[in-house]
Structure 1
Amino acid sequence: MDTYAEDEAPGSTTPLNLLRDELPAPINWNQLTADEAHYEWHDLDQWVKWLKDSHGLPPSIVPPFYYLHDELVWELSALHTHWLSCYHQTASPSAPNSWRRDFNDARRRLRDWVAIQDRDRHFEAFVRADVLRRRRIEAQVSQTPSD
């Protein structure tokens, strides 16, 4: 799992502490282990919060409960990976332009959602339930005799 560069403001959500040293790989949400899912959910959520704040995105584009909608998770996850690649130190100087174009297209696809209250508490409950579900599956698989 990657760690983020330190920033002078602990816990701040700025581009500096969102960038990684290594190039990212696409996330296949269907194949994550419980521990991987726990990390990836929080990593994506930190980036989505930054994206919403830095671009002034209203809930009609990225709703508070985006993580309950598979199409939004896949869309935002792809945008996140694309952003990490385009703003990586090894990226072409024109790579951010590619991300901006793709982000503009994605905003059009995300517009029709509505705001929901108490999002942070609900998000944590959702992640706990998802991780627990994955752990149960992992436990069942590990107890199944192999042929």
Structure 2
Amino acid sequence: MRTDIDQPALLDIEAGDSVDDEEYGCPDQVFGTADFDDDRPLRPINWNLLTADEALVEWLDLDEWVDWLRKSFGLPPTVVPPLWHRHDELVWELSALHTHWLNAYDSEGTPSGPIGWLRDFHEAKNRLREWVSLCGTRLDHDRRTRQTVWPGEDPIEPAAEVEVVDRKADFYLFVRDDVAARRAIEEQVRAAA
């Protein structure tokens, strides 16, 4: 596992902070380099089971790759919206697509791997469009994915829309909170042992 990520820089970001290259540096300078070809074995990512340190690395790798993907293929926000990271359905889909891409373009992989990835990517774009449509996130506004309340469950307060002002700052804040929540669970488990 990589250890070159500057975690204190992540933990200093607060809600409402603006993140730009002058103030925080590019992601590589703030968090270390997200390396697609590091020494970690290629494996599916189960976001439910990652430790805080693993999640930090995976979030940063996935974010860098998603940014590359949307720019390389000219993907509109109806396929990959700015706040994709706030929607589990998009995280799981993009994470699976990322792992598949890593495998397809592995230097020791089969020469037909890339064409298989491109075929599967075409299908994944349709699923991403459907996920984005269902969750209601857009280029300039976002809301929590609606949940259907089953009979006997407590009602869920409708989520208010928020304006998307600074995607990068929102991502860093989201990751900081996710990593902190995972650390709290790890500490509870250690304390109970």
Q: Which has the larger radius of gyration?
A: 2
Structure 1: give runs of 5+ residues left out of the alignment. 4-10, 12-16
Task: State whether structure 2 residue 72 is matched by structure 1 residue 54.
Answer: yes
Q: CA deviation at 1:19?
A: 3.9
Q: What's the counterpart of residue 126 of structure 1?
A: 174
Could you tell me how far apart the structure 2 residues matched to 1:86 and 1:21 are? Answer: 16
TM-score normalised over the length of structure 1: 0.84
What's the % identity of the aligned pairs?
55
1:1-147 matched pairs, under 5 angstroms: 1=1, 19-20=36-37, 24-111=42-129, 112=133, 113-116=137-140, 117=164, 118-145=166-193
Structure 2: give runs of 5+ residues left out of the alignment. 4-27, 29-33, 141-163
Could you tell me how far apart the structure 2 residues matched to 1:93 and 1:46 are? Answer: 25
Could you tell me how far apart the structure 2 residues matched to 1:43 and 1:110 are? Answer: 19
The one-letter amino acid paired with 1:79 is: L
State the secondary structure of the residue aligned to 2:55.
Answer: helix
CA deviation vs aligned residue, 1:4-44 (integer Å, no higher than 9, x gap) = xxxxxxx5xxxxx8641555111110000111111100000
More helix, by proportion: 1
TM-score normalised over the length of structure 2: 0.65
CA deviation vs aligned residue, 1:50-95 (integer Å, no higher than 9, x gap) = 0001000111100111111111111000000000000001111111
Distance 1:21 1:41, change over 3 A: closer
RMSD: 1.8
* Moved >2 Å (runs of 4+): none
State the secondary structure of the residue aligned to 1:40.
Answer: helix
State the secondary structure of the residue aligned to 1:30.
Answer: coil
Q: CA deviation at 1:2?
A: 5.9
Q: What's the counterpart of residue 146 of structure 2?
A: none
- 8 Å Cα contact 2:2-2:57 kept in structure 1: no
Aligned length: 133
Could you tell me how far apart the structure 1 residues matched to 2:180 and 2:2 are? Answer: 23
Could you tell me how far apart the structure 1 residues matched to 2:183 and 2:37 are? Answer: 27
